[in-house]
Structure 1
């Protein structure tokens, strides 16, 4: 199989890598990540103008990419710059709308692609512990409307999203795949309250509370009780995107560490000449290539049938979780004490790699899921 990117993807990667290196220096990223907004509206618009958001969607949905390798190219470049703009939720919510939305709802995709609308996934709950089917928020039919009640946790960029994709239970037990319904809920709907906070690895998230939120059938995404398949597919795309982002971050952490080993001297020679450190670095390079292989496998499987797709995605997330933590630990240790300092970008890459493991399911969760899907 030929794993070389097409010319269009190579051009996309070159354009995005150049833009990130020139316009998204670490000092700029740190300022944006620590700001009250948690992302830059100006840079988000420029990403849209470059076609980066459009590369995440199929031509039929107004984009010009949408394949697994298109997503991989974009998020690997974003990982190299620790970009905090809302690409992930744009991908997840956009894929859900593209899969199950009606014509009116699909009109939102154009606003996502041109960067004029911020959306957020409001699915996880305080006690869900990564399980996609564990939904306690309730939606009950009341005449010709729906009444939503519940709480959603760690909603990325929730303070600034104008539209939430909300999962609610309309039937079945709290852990059942059946009975989950998806709604597109406007941020300004009566009964929606948002409490924002800063994330440990930069950017912002929010807790979203739904208190007797009244919605019409126009807010339904797909059909009642049948939202799990759409949710699983869209979040699967998000999990894969995170894996690709991690590979980009690993590459930068590796490069920083190699440069440090070449320049830091002890006993009059570069510490990279010490055999023990060479062996540790060689092992680390092999692990990073293993992570890259898992992402390539998941990219190739993203358009396959459900079980093949989900097993490949969970396998990649398990590998990324294990290897990401290893890269973070080894690169900091090989730098010595300076590796922990806030001023050194490496510390932020290490922190992001650790947090990616915990986002949308950690390595233990995905290992268990991979095994369960093979039965």
Structure 2
């Protein structure tokens, strides 16, 4: 596996210890029942440890550790299903402003993102994704009017700043920043399988200044989605690793028919198969994150490979976790159900495994 720098190893150890001590799975259960769908106190602690600034340049108060560094944190958070707006804010939000924002936008937003003072949400998906982007920016005397609906928007309930995709008067795709509290913005909560923060956002004649547009349009959006997919794959890898380790511990302690069930050859074979999938997934995820940091030409292809493998692996291990725990794995009180639900949601987010297999083939020239 990847050889970490001293700083990256310290970041991993810090994240692992914090997750273990401050954010067990019980915290995820509590967050899913709360109004915010995450714990603001834990979010403040993440910001205090500098995680919100992992991708922010040092000149704006960040650490500039790159996507590999961010993936290290995401993997540890995935282990205990930590709910937070870190991915939406510190990865996608910071990347959007850093890569597409003006000097003024960067000076305004990046220090606040690094400090954990704002939450950012990417509003890109729509009810009929196959029809393309329907949200429109209509030219006015002093800028645009934004109309349309976006759903689901992750972390929208907590968001202060929205990054919205829409077509302008020429039909070109643009990304614009919108104040979540602006007049004409309507946010309606969605109930998700995993209990995380998500909403439908309606934009009705929302005034948007032309200075709020980010440079890059469709190319920037695809780059942001690839960063999000790679980081989410890292989180999924952490979730799968923890589900596997929990199941393995159960195989070593559960006695049936007078024997440890881990001594049954059929279950041993299934455990080895899970471990093999985890190893392949880790290799793909690390390659994708490193390719993004390096600006490699095949980064998008490696991202789709990582997201497809992570989706398949997590869903496999989540199913096996439920099955190998037997009856108790089907209960609401056991953690297996939480991992199973999270597997379904993360696989579907920003393209499921089938979508990314097709995308990989297309990018590879098939």
Normalised by the length of structure 2, the TM-score is: 0.95
- Report the Cα distance in structure 2 between the residues aligned to 1:264 and 1:77, rounded to whole angstroms: 27
Are the aligned partners of 1:303 and 1:309 in contact in 2 as well (CA < 8 Å)? Answer: no
1:180 is matched with which residue? 173
Contact 1:123–1:152 under 8 Å retained in 2: yes
Q: Which runs of 5+ in 2 are unaligned?
A: none
Once the two structures are TM-superposed, the CA of residue 60 in structure 1 deviates from its matched residue by 4.7
Q: Which 4+ residue blocks in structure 1 deviate beyond 6 angstroms?
A: none
Q: 1:244 aligns with which of 231, 234, 242?
A: 234
Partner residue, 1:50 = 49
Q: 1:124 maps to which residue?
A: 125
Which range is displaced more, 58-67 or 339-348?
58-67
CA deviations over 1:27-54 (Å, ceiling 9, x no partner) = 2221112211111111111110011222
Encode CA deviations 1:301-357: one digit per residue, 9 max, x unaligned. 113446411001011111111112111112211111211222111221122122111
CA displacement, residues 85-111 of structure 1 (integer Å, 9 cap, x when unaligned):
101111112101100101221121111
Q: Distance in 2 between matches of 1:201 and 1:350?
A: 9
Following the alignment from structure 1 to structure 2, what is the Cα–Cα distance between the partners of residues 78 and 3?
19
- The DSSP-based 3-state class of the residue aligned with 1:74 is helix
Asked whether the 8 Å contact 1:164–1:184 carries over to 2, the reply is: yes
Query: Kindly tell me: are residues 319 and 70 of structure 1, through their superposed partners in 2, closer, same or farther at Cα, counting changes over 3 Å?
Result: same
Q: Is the 8 A contact 1:34 1:203 kept in 2?
A: no
5 Å matches for 1:276-287? 276-287=266-277
User: 5+ unaligned residues in a row in structure 1: which ranges?
Assistant: 174-178
- What corresponds to 2:144 in structure 1? 146
- Select the residue among 193, 197, 206 that pairs with 1:213: 206
Q: Secondary structure at the match of 2:242?
A: helix
C-alpha distance in structure 2 between counterparts of 1:159 and 1:3, whole Å:
36
Would the aligned equivalents of 2:231 and 2:289 in 1 still touch at CA under 8 Å? Answer: no
Change (3 A) 1:296 1:80: same
SS of equivalent to 1:53: helix
Using the alignment, how far apart are the partners of 1:41 and 1:104 within structure 2? 28
Matched, 1:227 2:228: no
Q: Are residues 1:159 and 2:160 paired?
A: no
Distance 1:357 1:202 in 2: 15
Query: Partners in 2 of 1:259 and 1:63 — Cα distance?
Result: 39
Task: Give the conservation status (yes or no) of the 8 Å contact 1:58–1:67.
Answer: no
Equivalent pairs, count: 363
Moved more, 20-29 or 208-217: 20-29
Contact 1:84 1:202 in 2 (8 A): no
Matched residue, 2:343: 353
Report the equivalent of 1:96.
Answer: 96
Report the alpha carbon displacement of residue 171 of structure 1 after superposing the two structures with TM: 5.2
Between 110-119 and 25-34, the greater mean CA deviation after superposition: 25-34
2-structure distance, mates of 1:63, 1:73: 16
Match of 1:176 in 2: none
Alignment correspondent of 1:308: 298
Output the CA distance in 2 between the equivalents of 1:61 and 1:359.
Answer: 30
Contact 1:171 1:180 in 2 (8 A): no
Residue 2 of structure 2 is aligned to residue 3 of structure 1: yes
- In structure 2, the residue matched to 1:194 is 187
Deviates more, 1:301-310 or 1:252-261: 301-310
Q: Distance in 2 between matches of 1:88 and 1:138?
A: 26
Task: Decide whether the 8 Å contact of 2:331 with 2:337 is kept in 1.
Answer: yes
Residues 152-185 of structure 1, C-alpha deviation per residue, up to 9 Å, x if partnerless? 0011121221110001011566xxxxx1011100
Contact 1:76 1:246 in 2 (8 A): yes
Deviation, structure 1 residue 191:
1.0
Q: Using the alignment, how far apart are the partners of 1:219 and 1:299 within structure 2?
A: 29
C-alpha separation in 1, matches of 2:256 and 2:277: 27
